[in-house]
Structure 1
Amino acid sequence: MGIIVAKFGGTSIGDGKRIKKAARAVVKEYMQGKKVVVVVSAINKTTDDILEIVNRSIGEAITEKQMADIVSMGEITSVRVFSSTIESLGVKSEYIDPHMEIWPVITDSNYLNAKIDFAETEIKSREILKLLDQGVIPVLCGFLGKDREGNITTLGRGGSDITAFLLGHCLQAEEVIIVTDVGGVMSTDPNKLQTAKKLDKISVEEMRDLATHGAQVLHPHALRYKDPKINAKIIGFEHGDLSAPGTEIMGPSKDKMLRSTTLNNEPISVIAVVGEEMLTKVGILAELTKTLQDNNINIYGISTGQNSITLFIDRSEADKAHEILHEVVINSPDMSSLSLGREIAMISVNSQDFIDTPGIITKITAPLRKNKINIVEISSSQTSVVIFVDWNDGKRAYEMVRRVLE
């Protein structure tokens, strides 16, 4: 019998009616022969209410240890209500919280943003397997952990999603199901565009990038625990059915690690187009990129300045790009000239941890500065940093950056 880990967000168990609906969905899977582990968040707005009380009563005098202990009450209440609801439907269930000996999620003592002790958590998760073998549906607190001294910790943002994927991995589950207030992952925010459509599938890499840029469906931190062998999907609570279609999360791909550094194999050439106050002129960038597209020339990167646009092109196509872009420049009243620059190397650094790592660009570039390696250009997003250096410095720079990431 396969194991399902089902995580219910705060909105999906926002009141008694929704809790019963969720419990019935769990029991339905159980009656069909599945072993189900439930992870629940705090009931909708419970944590916000607790934080407001803490702020008015204690304020800044509260310690991190006290805060973790107090905010845990939301999840500690949820598991008791949810487990009792399952039992009211005639199925054995047990709630599990960090105060209990069998609690599986072990962390360090960073109370409000704890780091998971993966090895210890895998060992402790065996207790959950024993309950499943006894025909019990375990209901666990999302978001919470416990340090080696028995103190309650919290996993930070996206904590309940982390709990679900972590347990899915440790229990070698068949599937992890994230139940939310939306029917899956949408092509864009449906509150902003009514034409938004639900995606049937999305890769881990796409989901991570979408989440880091503001999508609220799933926290990117949780995806580091997504096992490629385990199915995963996001569904809406309104179905009341864990087998309902939603958005399937694919991967991660074995060749796309969560943390990586790459160096392009061939040199890249720089083409700089200049013109007075180019950034204030509409359509210039589109004209340049459309010209290259029409000639099947790929662009590795674009950098813009007040009076210039820099394009990074494969060296083998640089002369052709230079020639065709020259025709665009001399026929444009807004562009004055262009130049074909030196050969450079492109180093790409990717990690989902960047979004929560202050000073990451400084850490990456510091060894280059110390070794007098000039950076021709640098660009970044929330999960990646791309550095361009002289081709002759490429391999040295790559090794230095890779050591920083390791």
Structure 2
Amino acid sequence: MRVVAKFGGTSLGSGDRVERAADSIADAVAADHEIAVVASAMGNTTDELLEDITFEADDTDRAEIVSMGERTSVRMLKAALAARGVNATFLEPGHPDWPIVTNQRGEVDADATRERAAELAERLGETVPVITGFLAEDHDGNVTTLGRGGSDTTAVMLGRYVDADQVVIVTDVEGVMTGDPHVVEGARNVGEITVDELRNLSFRGAEVVAPSALSFKDDELDVRVIHYQHGDLLSGGTRIEGQFENMVDMRESQLACLTVAGRAIRNRPGIAATLSTALYESDINVDAIASGMDSMTFYVDESVAERAENVLHREVIEVGELSSVTVTDDIAVIRVLGGELPNQPGVLRRIVDPIAEANINVIDIISSATSVAIFVDWADREEALDIVQDSVRS
């Protein structure tokens, strides 16, 4: 059997836990299974590294810094496997066999990743690749990251592309429980759950598997979640069934909306690039952009809204045809992703009409070939999320 096993930060949080992980991998190899391993940063290393970046750092430097946690984990785990006589190789961005590639927009390049993963699959059985989770590499060789839940994404994506039989997520919970064992009596493990059920739980705080990771799961790929103390990679835990037809994702933090108005938006070539570049050079990430005849709107994390306003105001002063910049806070975004969803006739109306009927104001809608983003007031986000999920299922 071909298995991709992902070990979370907690399951690698100490030397003893690294040893336990290595034992479970070695046992699976001894039973003639082909194993690929994805490793998260040990413990809370990534959060600690991010907290230590108290200076202005561009995206490339920031990615290189936070990558140190995963880079350490794969070296530890590879050495522990070697001590058990297992032929293992650690892979990180920059390695000639590195599989995860992102494009110029920071999104996974599915074709390039699929091709590299196929090459990796040919060597399974000869060696156990121990792969840094969360990290990726762009076509220029720069380190990039896959965002929240990135190690889960690495594991499920590789599981699909190497044609694995199973992806096993090793974490600090015994799969999905019927309730919080710290709160309710008699909580027990749920043996099976669908991806849609798990997605709904994750939006309500259940941190089991990142919904973004499960978007790579298909019906043929078996995904299980087990506790790191379980010891056996090939049994127990919770089995996740099915696949996403469409995925609904809600951003966890508040956005601010900055709107620049002026005739230059439609009359001056390159003004969109000028405004976007100003934000980029100030290390401000833009979540989404919308444009109109005489305005352009940038959605950014609310924590950087004041800085973004000052950056854009400088451009307003510099460009005579621009009039002003305004800011609106406390905005939520809900995205519907998957397939050719936005190209289906009437899909926007099917999503938006029920929101309007609930007397919820839709601030903005941005659609592309594979997603629809709906922006609403932060206070309305939970009700809007329920409505969108119902509309997608119907």
TM interval, short-chain normalised: 0.5 to 0.7
Is the Cα contact below 8 Å between 1:178 and 1:234 reproduced in 2? yes
Any unmatched runs of 5+ in structure 2? 249-347, 353-360, 368-380
Deviation at 1:364, TM superposition (A): 7.1
1:363 aligns with 2:346: no
- How big is the shift at 1:228? 1.1
Q: Which protein shows a greater Rg?
A: 1
Q: Which residue of 2 aligns with 1:124?
A: 116
Q: Report the CA distance between 1:48 and its aligned residue.
A: 2.3
Counterparts of 2:235 and 2:18, CA distance in 1: 17
User: How many Å apart are 1:202 and its aligned residue?
Assistant: 0.3
In the TM superposition, residue 33 of structure 1 has moved relative to its aligned partner by 1.1
The within-5 A match list for 1:261-280 is none
Q: Which residue of structure 1 aligns with residue 103 of structure 2? A: 108
TM-score (norm 2): 0.64
Match of 1:67 among 34, 55, 62: 62
Structure 1 segment 3-402 matched on structure 2, within 5 A: 3-55=2-54, 59=55, 61-110=56-105, 114-133=106-125, 135-252=126-243, 256-258=245-247, 348-349=350-351, 362-363=364-365, 380-381=384-385, 384=388
Query: Does the CA-based 8 Å contact 1:86-1:93 persist in structure 2?
Result: yes
CA deviations 1:92-129 (Å, max 9, x no partner) are: 0000000112110000245xxx3100111000112312
One-letter amino acid of the structure 2 residue matched with residue 171 of structure 1: V
Query: SS at 2:240's partner residue?
Result: strand
- Matches of 1:237 and 1:94, distance apart in 2: 22
Looking at structure 1, the residues matched to 96 and 118 of structure 2 have their Cα atoms a distance apart, in angstroms, of 12
Contact 1:41/1:141 (CA < 8 Å) preserved in 2?
A: yes
Task: Label 1:384 to 1:364 Cα distance change in 2 as closer, same or farther (>3 A).
Answer: farther
Alpha-carbon distance in 2 for matches of 1:383, 1:252: 21
AA aligned to 1:194 is: E
> By how many angstroms is 1:385 displaced?
5.7
| Stretch of structure 1 that moved more, 139-148 or 237-246 | 237-246
Q: Do the aligned partners of residues 380 and 78 (structure 1) sit closer, same or farther apart at CA in structure 2, a change above 3 Å counting?
A: same
Aligned twin of 1:372: none
Are the aligned partners of 1:143 and 1:156 in contact in 2 as well (CA < 8 Å)?
yes
In 2, the alpha carbon distance for the partners of 1:145 and 1:43 equals 18
Aligned counterparts of 1:103 and 1:213: Cα–Cα separation in 2: 35
SS at match of 1:363: strand
Structure 2 CA distance, aligned partners of 1:54 and 1:362?
Answer: 34
2:93 is aligned with what amino acid? P
2:63 alignment partner, SS class? helix
Write the distance in 2 (CA, Å) between the matches of 1:383 and 1:116.
29
> AA paired with 2:177?
M
- CA distance, structure 2, for counterparts of residue 364 and residue 64 of structure 1: 25
Judging changes above 3 Å, is the alpha-carbon distance between structure 1 residues 382 and 24 closer, same or farther for their aligned structure 2 residues? farther
SS in 1 for 2:196: helix
Counterpart residue identity of residue 38, structure 2: V
Tell me the CA shift for residue 203 of structure 1.
0.2
Return the offset for 1:196.
2.6
1:98/1:145 contact within 8 Å kept = yes
Poorly superposed stretches of 4+, deviation over 6 Å: none
Instruction: Give the 3 Å change call, closer, same or farther, for CA 347–67 of structure 1 in structure 2.
Output: same
SS in 2 for 1:384: helix
Give CA deviations for 1:37-79 in whole Å, capped at 9, x if unaligned.
0000000021122223222xxx2x1111111110001001111
Q: Deviations over 1:329-371 (max 9, x none)?
A: xxxxxxxxxxxxxxxxx96549xxxxxxxx9863179xxxxxx
**In 2 relative to 1, CA 27–46 (structure 1 residues): closer, same or farther, beyond 3 Å?**
same
What is the CA RMSD across the aligned residues, in angstroms?
2.6
SS at 2:36's partner residue? strand
Aligned equivalents of 1:11, 1:347: Cα separation in 2: 44
What secondary structure sits across from 2:6 in the alignment? Answer: strand
| Deviates further, 19-28 or 195-204 | 195-204
The answer to whether the Cα contact below 8 Å between 1:125 and 1:171 also exists between their aligned partners in 2 is yes
Alpha-carbon spacing, 1:35–1:383, altered in 2? closer, same or farther (3 Å):
farther
1:384: how far off?
A: 1.9
Query: What one-letter code is carried by the residue in structure 1 that aligns with 2:79?
Result: S
In the alignment, the residues of structure 2 paired with residue 64 and residue 170 of structure 1 have an alpha-carbon distance, to the nearest angstrom, of 28
Letter in 2 for 1:120: A
Secondary structure, aligned partner of 2:225: strand
- 8 Å CA contact 1:212, 1:382 repeated in 2: no
1 CA distance for matches of 2:183 and 2:387?
Answer: 25
Equivalent residue for 1:375? Answer: none
Corresponding residue number in structure 1 for 2:357 = none
**Alpha-carbon separation, structure 2, partners of 1:349 and 1:160:** 31
Count of residues in correspondence between the two structures:
272
SS of the equivalent of 1:132 reads coil
- State the alpha-carbon separation in 2 of the partners of residues 195 and 115 from structure 1: 42
Q: 1:386 to 1:170 in 2, by over 3 A?
A: closer
| Higher mean C-alpha displacement, 220-229 vs 158-167 | 220-229
